[in-house]
Amino acid sequence: MSTGSNMVKPNNMLGFLLKGLAAVSLLSTGSYGNISALEDIALSIFAAGRQGKFVKCLTPVVSSVKFYEPYLSRNAKVALSFLFSRPQLPKSYLSPSGLFRVHYTTEGSDAVPTEDKDGDGVPDFVQEVASTFDSVYVLEVEILGYPEPIKDGGEGGDDAWDVYLHDMVNTYGFTNPERRVGNSSTSYIEMDNDFQDFVFPTKGLDAVHVTAAHEFFHMIHYTYYGRSGWEWWMEISSTWMEDVAYDDVNDYYNYLPFFFNHPEVPLNWCDGAHEYGASVFAHFLEERFGRDIIRRMWEQIGRTQRMDLEIWEGVLPGGWREVMGEFALWNYFTGSRARPGFYEEGENYPEVRTEEHTLPDSGRGSLPYLASVYHRFLPRGGAMSLLLSLPEPGVWKGWFVSDGEWWPAGAGESRMEGEEEVTWIGAVGVTEGNYGYRYLASYDTSAGDTTGTSKQLVGFPLPNPFLPEEGELSVRFHLSKPGKVSMEIYTILGRQIWKHEEEFPPGNGKLSWDGRNSEGKPVASGIYIYLLRYGGRSRKGKIALVR
């Protein structure tokens, strides 16, 4: 970028924006008591100068500052005045469709690249920007079925949607909400003037393309919801839209570590980094449930006009608990663990951070809403007994993963025995609060000598208590070699009432009991004894059957 400028704007805008993101994150997740903190940050660091740090999109901060502007002090309003007026640029170009007007200059630090191969007097870069927005409009509105953004009533010279190109200082750009129209807002876009800043992870026309797809989707967002509060979802869905529009660019790869390194952070956390990595959530939703689910989620925001995660409980198949549980499982199968049936581009994603445990080990932890945790247990030369305790089972969805296979972990208490390493994945599928868990991993002294036997991981019969009217009682297991597994049910006096034995191939398996005896008759409520036999070992325990 060139130096010098013919525009008056603060050099230190990004200093405020970067340091203010923590306060804005609280604002955008519904904590309205942080307006003074946001203002204090703005006023205290405005002289800090440029930070040399990259922030992909400044829309979250701009949106929050604009929405809370009536509550800012006079000094803060003056300091942030650049956000409340459009850039002044001497030239403009109407896109071929007539839908977009691109404003630019060829002088000073805000100058666009001036190459003009066709000699029509308009820089090729400006024409490429305009054509890109035309293409993005066709995709997002005509093909994907999203509504047009609200027209601005002639601001910027006419009724076209306005795009302003100028030196953005270490960011690709942002979409600025301007005027409320019912539940919507008009808006305009500000983008970098050449996309060559050394801190940009993607440069040139590739950056132009994904930024246009990203920011135009923000304009659509303001049509659904013209206020502040959904910034985290705006960024997730706009970053996802980049890949829908320009699948070969993959700028979003640059931000995935911010999410995969911190699975314990709530999904809706917005700090200038996490929300872009969390765009993988939209990829999961699209690949698992179809592309239209993103639009249905935005339509629900538009219908309800609520800043409440619960509005999606009926939109997400199975609700938050099921979706977060499966999302956590998908996030395990990336990088070297990628496999068919999960992310299409998963081998290019980072691997989620796991916490590793060698035996014996025990501990406890807590997890906030819409977050996940990955504990990997490593038995060294012996059989393992693993106990997990979830005091509030209704909020959790969990999995056991071993040797590339996976099966559900029970709610409440989950037990597992075996000689192979196993990873427990726990996800919290509710929209508020923090929830505790405990684990105890020890060597199973009852296993005896297992030399030469096939390795296995065998769970405990679940659910327990067992209500036959609500489904079967099942025991799940994983075998590394073919083998027989049997389950026997006895009365408390020792009389066998049911038995089933089956030969299983390597991998995951399941045995189930429906609460009937060998003659097919329902057994009465009471305490029963189960006996599992597998790989030369056996285990017994009690089941409470309730009718």
pLDDT digits (tens, 9 = 90+) for 353-399: 999 998 889 999 999 999 999 999 988 766 778 888 888 888 999 98
Asked if the structure places residue 335 within a domain, the reply is no
In angstroms, the first-to-last Cα distance of the chain is 75
Question: What's 511's domain CATH number?
Answer: 2.60.40.2550
Asked if the structure places residue 8 within a domain, the reply is no
> With contact defined as beta carbons under 8 Å apart, do 377 and 436 qualify?
no
Question: What's 393's domain CATH number?
Answer: 2.60.120.1050
Q: Which residue has better confidence, 60 or 102?
A: 102
Q: How far apart, in whole angstroms, are the C-alpha atoms of residue 151 and residue 431?
A: 35
Domain shared by 204 and 112, yes or no:
yes
Confidence of residue 478 (pLDDT cuts 50, 70, 90): confident
Q: How far apart, in whole angstroms, are the C-alpha atoms of residue 162 and residue 191?
A: 11
Asked if the structure places residue 280 within a domain, the reply is yes
What does the pLDDT read at residue 394?
Answer: 86
Domain shared by 125 and 167, yes or no:
yes
Q: Which residue has the tokens 């703005």?
A: 42
What does the pLDDT read at residue 1?
Answer: 36
Q: Is the pLDDT of residue 453 over 60?
A: no
Q: What DSSP designation does 143 have?
A: I
Average pLDDT over residues 232-250: 98
Helix (H, G, I), strand (E, B) or coil at 200: coil
Asked if the structure places residue 338 within a domain, the reply is no
Domain shared by 134 and 182, yes or no:
yes
Q: Is the pLDDT of residue 445 over 70?
A: no
Asked if the structure places residue 326 within a domain, the reply is no
Question: What's 292's domain CATH number?
Answer: 1.10.390
Structural domain boundaries enclosing 546: 456-547
Helix (H) or strand (E) holding 534: strand 526-534
**What are phi and psi for residue 365, nearest 5 degrees?**
-155, 180
Domain shared by 523 and 476, yes or no:
yes
Domain shared by 469 and 504, yes or no:
yes
Average pLDDT over residues 312-332: 97
Q: Is the pLDDT of residue 66 over 80?
A: yes
User: Is the pTM for the entire model greater than 0.95?
Assistant: no
Domain shared by 396 and 284, yes or no:
no
Q: With b meaning 16 or more CB within 10 Å and e meaning fewer, what string describes 427-462?
A: bbbbbeeebebebebbebeebeebeebebbbbbbbb
Hey, what amino acid is at 372?
S
What does the pLDDT read at residue 72?
Answer: 79
Domain shared by 248 and 360, yes or no:
no
Q: Where are the alpha helices (DSSP H) in 181-268?
A: 204-224, 231-245, 256-260
Domain shared by 257 and 153, yes or no:
yes
Strand 413-418 to strand 384-389: parallel, antiparallel, or no bridges (unpaired)? Answer: antiparallel
Q: Which of 416, 451, 486 is the last residue of a domain?
A: 451
Asked if the structure places residue 526 within a domain, the reply is yes
Lowest mean pLDDT across 112-121, 312-321, 383-392, 525-534:
383-392
Hey, what amino acid is at 284?
F
Q: Is the pLDDT of residue 111 over 50?
A: yes
Lowest mean pLDDT across 186-190, 434-438, 490-494:
490-494
pLDDT digits (tens, 9 = 90+) for 141-166: 999 999 999 999 999 999 999 999 99
Q: Is the pLDDT of residue 45 over 60?
A: no
Nearest Cα to Cα of residue 337 among 283, 420, 404, 288: 404
The torsion of the CA quartet 296, 300, 302, 304, rounded to 10 degrees, works out to 170
Asked if the structure places residue 343 within a domain, the reply is no
Tally the domains of the chain: 3
Nearest Cα to Cα of residue 347 among 426, 235, 266, 256: 256
Domain shared by 461 and 416, yes or no:
no
Confidence of residue 219 (pLDDT cuts 50, 70, 90): very high
Confidence of residue 404 (pLDDT cuts 50, 70, 90): confident
What does the pLDDT read at residue 416?
Answer: 74
Nearest Cα to Cα of residue 34 among 45, 25, 47: 25
Q: How far apart, in whole angstroms, are the C-alpha atoms of residue 95 and residue 225?
A: 27
Confidence of residue 464 (pLDDT cuts 50, 70, 90): confident
